Amino acid sequence: MNPGYLYLSIAIVAEVIATSALKASNGFTNALPSTVVLVGYGIAFYFLSLVLRTVPVGVAYAIWSGAGIVLIALVGWVVLKQALDTPALVGMALIVAGVAVIQLFSRSAAH
C-alpha cells in the first residue's frame, strides 16, 4: 500500500481536530483551543506535503476535502448537536461516492 494514504489519513484527522477546535478558540482568544487549531493545521499540512510525494495533488485534495467535510459534519452532529437535514446527508453521501469512484476507478489514484 502507498504510504501516502496513511499520511493522508493522519492529515485529515489533524485537520478535523483543528477545525473542531476553531469554535472553542473564540476568535483565537482562548489559548488552549487556539493552540490545538495551530498545531492541528501544522500537522495536517506537514503530512499533506508528504502525501504529495506519491499521490497526485488532485486526488489527494479530493479525498482530503471530501473526508474532511463528512467528518466535520459528523463532529458537528455528534459533539455540537447540530442538525443534519436530508439534503445535507444526501450531499455527503454523494461526496463519499465521489471519493469511492476516484479510488476504485481512476487511474490517477494509482500513481
Cβ atoms of 37 and 70 closer than 8 Å: no
Dig out the grid coordinates for 62 from the structure. Answer: 479530493
Q: What is the mean pLDDT of the chain?
A: 91
pLDDT digits (tens, 9 = 90+) for 26-63: 999 999 999 999 999 999 999 999 999 999 898 898 89
Q: Count Cβ atoms below 10 Å from residue 29 Cβ, excluding itself.
A: 8
Q: Which of the four pLDDT bands, split at 50, 70 and 90, describes residue 105?
A: confident
Q: What is the pLDDT of residue 104?
A: 82
Query: Domain spans of the chain?
Result: 3-110
What's the mean pLDDT in 90-109? 85
